[in-house]
Amino acid sequence: MGVPLFDTDTPLAPLREELTAKVTEVINGGRFILGPEVSAFETELAEYVGVGHALGVGNGTDALAIALRALGIEAGDPVIVPALTFYATAEAVAAIGARPVFADVDPSTRNLSVDTVAAALKREPQAKAIITVDLFGLPAPSPAIKREFSLPVIEDAAQAIGASLDGVKAGALADIATFSFYPSKNLGAFGDGGAVLTDDPELAATVKALRFHGSRDKQSFELVGYNSRLDEIQAAVLRILLRQLDGWAEGRRRAAASYRDRGIGRYVGIAPEREGTLPAWHLYVVTHPQADAVIQQLNDAGIQARAYYRTPLHRQPAMAPYVPPGLELPITDELARTIIALPISPVLSTAQAQQVVDVLAEASLGVAEPKASNPAGS
């Protein structure tokens, strides 16, 4: 029996009748843009995360660009970003004319750290902001980074809704934060969607204007903005799913614990769960020195596994103009070469976890033993 990388259907099955009825209600009501469902979802999301303001936008990439603009980032401004993440993080910086500055990541957490940001700042001391990414659902140390460097910090929390760090939820760890509601995310819409969150009322007002063509009153236009609004149907869906989020997050944590309890760390490198961190486990990512061969063996056994970020951002063709000659980010390069995403979902069973571990045990025979405590192998 196969094991899917994502199982989005099973958790949704008990909710389909409620979801269908709600979508029908929105259709019958005839309000589709910035109506009552969006307003209600924004209030509920802000309360869930623990911030003063949440603004729905068209997608997670727009959310990043709008957050940068709201902070006053302008053309040519350097912005520090991790080199190990999805392309959109750096793309949003370049799209507004700013300049991505690529930083290496911590070998254990795979996120930015105070040390890796400090190294990037030595190369680019004029940086105007930092984007931290809560990669794979483990929150980056955004508060520590902000305290250390006194620069505006944007938390790209697209993969981490439902996670927390020292009791503070992802989305509330920086000056401003962004979410994506792409369907495969932990809180996924039935299409594109995103949000920008902040405690700062002035930033929130600017985000609200930027998402609607730079206007605060729909009559005068103070800024060159975007047409980027979360629609009513997606907001209605997300309101229903948000009520399930904590239960789903707990299911993902049980799945991760099931892997660990079955000794997965004997066969692959695993990220340590640090004290004070409650992961969301958007992806359960391990490392192995012969990752592609292991992925093939898993797939051959009916277990969906996938490489993630094999080409890190500082090696992507479109980012070449922003990469200084001779830039070396060794931890990022090693992680990009060795990462394997394994099946994870709120409903991953212990039997499925055992099946994955059994195949990994066989796949690892005859190859160099990975270092479970140090995914980068350094």
Q: Quick one: tokens of 17?
A: 């009748």
The string of DSSP codes covering 163-190 is -EETTEETTSSSSEEEEE--TTSSS--S
pTM: 0.94
The string of DSSP codes covering 53-120 is EEEEES-HHHHHHHHHHHTT--TT-EEEEESSS-THHHHHHHHTT-EEEEE---TTT-S--HHHHHHH
Q: In what order do the strands lie in the sheet with 168-169?
A: 168-169, 164-165, 277-278
Q: Quick one: tokens of 128?
A: 């105007």
Which CATH number fits the domain 9-242, given the four candidates 2.40.30.10, 3.50.50.60, 3.40.190.100, 3.40.640.10? 3.40.640.10
Least confident window among 151-160, 268-277, 283-292: 268-277
The pLDDT tens digits of the residues spanning 312-325 come to 999 999 999 999 99
Pairing outcome for strands 176-180 and 194-198: antiparallel
The pLDDT tens digits of the residues spanning 170-228 come to 999 999 999 999 999 999 999 999 999 999 999 999 999 999 999 998 899 999 999 99
363 — pLDDT class (breaks 50, 70, 90): confident
Residue 261 in this model has a pLDDT that exceeds 50: yes
Give me the helix-helix angle, 60-70 and 201-211, nearest 10°: 130
**What percentage of the chain has pLDDT greater than the value 70?**
96
Q: What is the structure's pLDDT at 1?
A: 62
Task: Give the CA dihedral 120, 125, 131, 133, nearest 10 degrees.
Answer: 20
Mean residue pLDDT across the chain? 94
Give how far Cα 213 sits from Cα of 139, 208, 216, 228, Å. Answer: 32, 9, 9, 8
> Where along the chain do its domains lie?
9-242, 246-363
Q: What beta strand segments (E) does the chain contain?
A: 53-57, 78-82, 99-103, 129-133, 153-156, 164-165, 168-169, 176-180, 194-198, 269-270, 277-278, 284-287, 339-342
Q: Which of 318, 316, 320, 322 is nearest to 98 (CA)?
A: 322
Contact indicator for 191, 183 with CB cutoff of 8 Å: yes
Q: In terms of residues, how long is the chain?
A: 378
Contact indicator for 74, 97 with CB cutoff of 8 Å: yes
Taking the C-alpha atoms of residue 224 and residue 75, their distance in angstroms, rounded to an integer, is 14
Residue 368 in this model has a pLDDT that exceeds 60: no
Q: Which CATH superfamily is domain 246-363 in?
A: Aspartate Aminotransferase, domain 1 (3.90.1150.10)
